[in-house]
Each structure stands twice: as structure tokens, then as C-alpha cells.
Amino acid sequence: MTETILNNAHSSGAALRAKLRTLVVRNSRLDMIESLTLDLLDETQELVDGDVENQKEAEAGGQSITYTELSVMPIIGPSGSTKTTSMVTIAEKLKKKHPGKTPILVVKLRSSTTRLRQLQVQILEAFNDPQAHVVRKQIADYSENVAADAIRNVARAAGTYIVVLDEAHSVLGTREPAERAQAFAPHIKSLINDGLFAVIVMGTDNVNLFFETSTELNNRKFDSISLDPVDLSDPHDFTYFYKFIGRIDRELVAQGILDEPIGLIDDLKSRAFLYDMSDGVVGVVSRIIMIALRIVQRMERRTINWDDIKHAFWAWKAEQKDQDGETIEIYDPFVSKPRPTTTEAVTNMSKALKI
């Protein structure tokens, strides 16, 4: 009986954490990403559908066609800036709207993906296409064009018009990233030049190197989205950051995850702590709340207080390592108190915006 109770409690706790992990809160940055992504999707669909018709006519006449060059769009921001969460939300929404189709395919790049063949394999894998295994094994008989045609056929069958290369910075590593970007940029360019689909390149600041080292790729930009950490002196950024977190706090109760709000933005001190904990990145706040939820669940509580947030922050902080495994230095407002500049900025802007 005791074992059954413990198992039920564990399952209930896991279910609540899963609900928090999948919690999507509408916000201005998600709206911006969705708006530009849908614009890119509509434009690409028109161009690709035109190519499909031209190809039918060309094949009927025994001719070949030159595919329309498509576009690329970078989405750049630090880890935790909701890039992936936002894009997955948009992609899933479109899949529901178009049953049996995948208008947007998200591909998480591996750090070992450095060659075009490896990139083509990852894309085919994301489509769950068995040709991925064939292309992976090819060496002497590998053909870039044959692999591209295979991807084109799979993409057309799936109704895919955009492929998102997530974690694109991972292929650059930490040593000589500019040289690696210069070598990899042509691989991205080949996807859009071959008219396969538009490409969204997502990652941290290093993603800019693809465009800085390749004029041709830079010239194919549809638009560019930057998700920099929030600037407290900017009224729009300030409102986005604290409204977003306030909505999370309310949704935790509305979704039955907690019994009462944490009070994350109830006063100026709390707002200052939140900013210095996360350095203005909302995804970091979400991760800390997730850790805090695990902490209180172990104590069989359904409320989170600021002491729980403190210990969750310390646990998250201890996990932060760079690509060489070295500890990342992170400011700790619980030890050093919020920065005076943060407290002043929060106070002034809160008064100015009357929130």
C-alpha cells in the first residue's frame, strides 16, 4: 500500500512538471517570431509551388528546370531566450492546421555535423526517412545532387516549406569559430539555392558568423530576429519581461501546478532579484521555477516561496558550464544582493509605467 501511494505521488509530481514544461505563455516575442515565420512560409510556399508546376511542364517536354533560390532567416539569442520553445509551438500549431503535413521541420544540429552530407543525413533523419541510412553509408558513390533530390522529394511529400536548423552555433565549437562558419555557410546556402525549402538558422550570437563570413548567404536573408537579454531601460523590453513572468506565475495556479502564486513580480525587490538571477533571459526564470517545483514536491508541498527559488537558483547556477566544461561565473543576488543599477532601473521604470 505504501509503495502504491509513493508511486502515485511520484506520477502526480511528474505530471505537474510535464505540464509546466509544456506551458506556453503568449508574449510579444513569440508573436514577432510567429508573424515573420508565417510571412516566410507564405512566400516560400508560393515560390515552391511555382517550381512544382514548372517542373511538371519541363518533364512533359523532356527538359530540366532551374529551381528558385529561397531565403534564410536567422533567429539569434542566448540560451533560454525561448527560441526553440517558440518555434516548436509554431510548428506544432501548423501541423494541427494541416493534418498529415509538416510545414515547418525543426532539426537540432549535432556538434559533429560539419559536412554537407552530414547535414543532409540529419535532415532526412528528422523526416524519419530511411534514405538517411543510405546517404550516411555512402562514401565513393555519394552525390550531393542525388541526396538533394531525395530531400526535395521527401519535403514535397511532407508539405515542408521551412527547415529550422536549431542549435546552429553548436557546429562552430569554441576554437576558430569564424573559420568553421565560413566552411559551413555554403552548406546552408546549398539548401536554399537548390530550392529545397527556406531555412531558419537558430542559435546564440556565433550564428552571426555564418552571415559575416558569407556575403552570398547574407544576401539571401529574408529578415533577422534578435532575442537579446532584456534591457531594463527600454519600456517595451521591461513590459515584455515582467508581464511574461507574471503570466507564468498566474498560469502555475490556473493549470493546477501550484495552489497559490509565488509572487514573482509583486514588489520592486522581487523584480530586481529576478532580473539579476536570469540576466534578463525569461527562459532562465522558467528553468529555475522547474527546479523549485522539484524541490517542493520532494517535501510534498504545492507552494513555492522565495527560499525555494534561492535554492533552485543555486542548483541551476552550479550546472552552468561552458563548452570546455569550465564553470561559468554568474552573478548571485542572494549572496551579493541585487545590483544597485538593477534596483534603480526597476524602480524608475516601474514608476514610469505605473506597474
* pLDDT one-digit tens code per residue, 109-136: 999 999 999 999 999 999 999 888 888 8
The per-residue pLDDT for 22 is 57
Distance CA 82, CA 284 (A): 9
pLDDT at position 332 over 60:
yes
pLDDT at position 212 over 90:
yes
Confidence of residue 157 (pLDDT cuts 50, 70, 90): very high
The per-residue pLDDT for 311 is 97
pLDDT at position 60 over 90:
no
178-185 average pLDDT score: 95
Contact 196, 124 (CB under 8 A): no
Confidence of residue 3 (pLDDT cuts 50, 70, 90): very low
Structure-block grid coordinates of residue 334: 542572494
Helices (H), 195-326: 208-212, 215-218, 235-254, 268-278, 282-298, 306-319
pLDDT at position 9 over 50:
no
The per-residue pLDDT for 10 is 44
The per-residue pLDDT for 4 is 43
The per-residue pLDDT for 39 is 97
What 3-state class would DSSP assign to 65?
coil
Q: Where in the chain is the domain with CATH 3.40.50?
A: 28-226
178-182 average pLDDT score: 95
Confidence of residue 11 (pLDDT cuts 50, 70, 90): very low
pLDDT mean across residues, the chain: 89
The per-residue pLDDT for 59 is 82
Alpha carbon 60 to chain centroid distance?
Answer: 42
pLDDT at position 141 over 80:
no
- Beta strands across the sheet bearing 198-203: 104-108, 162-166, 198-203, 72-76, 225-226
Single pTM value for the model: 0.80
| DSSP sequence for 219-251 | TTBS--EE-PPP-TTSHHHHHHHHHHHHHHHHH
pLDDT at position 5 over 50:
no
CATH placement of domain 28-226: 3.40.50
Residue whose C-alpha cell is 534603480: 344
| Residues 143/74/77/21 CA torsion (nearest 10 deg) | -70
Nearest in space to 48 (alpha carbons), one of 210, 232, 194, 212: 194
